[in-house]
Amino acid sequence: MGDPMFGKAVMCDCRKAELDAQRIRDLQNMSALEPFLDLSFANFDPSVPGVGEAYRAAIEFARDPHGWLVLQGGCGCGKTHLAAAIANERIRQGSSVLFAVVPDLLDHLRAAFAPTSTVQYDQRFESVRSTELLILDDLGTENATPWAQEKLFQIMNHRYSYRYPTVVTTNRRLSSLDERIESRLNDRVLCRIIEITANDYRPRQAGQRRPGTPGRSAYRGRGT
């Protein structure tokens, strides 16, 4: 009778395991990682001018994910490759990871409002903002509606407040983002910001590369 849990409902281990499995399935369904499952640090070329610092930082983060890592740079410079390599490495280590292209992530959240959705919005939103590692690819390319801005801020502010490991890639200047998100990203105690200065190494068309670039693409012609 004196037990502090007396009279309180306690979730059984079976139900907790079922909910954990469902949360992981939902993260997998939202993830945009499938096209990038073969991207790793092993097939990234760190000798390409302008990518060395980002490459070393990504490896360090994958080994010990703490704080936030922000990768800035133009299209095709290797941001997505490095972000996907981090995701693939952490998944191999058994971590719960959500790799999401920001506009697609917002679409997944909107879809949870549909009557046919098998996942409630609150449940999906909580899975996103509290996942062990969140990787947001192409921040700043979303349609900046008030709803989208508010959801993104809520996600990032939650992770900022709890210091959850997060990776962000963007081809925008931070000053062009929502000022509330910019202020979080500019926290140098939590965030490490690296600008990748490499050019776009993707072929303009089959067999043709931009002038002055190596004859071999480090990024296999995909991603940013």
Q: Over the stretch 167-200, which tens digit does the pLDDT of each residue have? A: 999 999 999 999 999 999 999 999 999 999 998 7
pLDDT band at 208 (very low <50, low <70, confident <90, very high): very low
pTM for the predicted model, two decimal places:
0.80
Give the whole-angstrom CA distance, residue 170 versus residue 161.
Answer: 21
Please state, for a pLDDT cut of 70, what percent of the chain lies above it: 80
Q: Which two tokens stand for residue 175?
A: 């000053």
Q: How confident is the model at residue 205 (pLDDT cuts 50, 70, 90)?
A: very low
In order of their start, the domains of the chain are: 48-196 (3.40.50.300)
Report the SS3 class of residue 193: strand
**Which pLDDT score is estimated for 209?**
39
Between residues 117 and 145, the one the model is more confident about: 145
Yes or no: say if 70 and 134 are a contact pair by the CB < 8 Å rule: no
Q: Which residues contact 77 (CB under 8 A, 6 or more apart)?
A: 50, 51, 196, 197, 198, 199, 200, 201, 224
Q: Is the pLDDT of residue 219 over 50?
A: no
> Distance between CA atoms of 180 and 150, rounded to whole angstroms?
10
Average pLDDT, the chain: 85
What SS3 state is found at 2?
coil
* pLDDT recorded at residue 210: 39
Confidence label for 30 from pLDDT (cuts 50, 70 and 90): low
Beta strands in the chain (DSSP E): 68-73, 97-101, 133-137, 166-170, 191-196
Does 214 have pLDDT greater than 50?
A: no
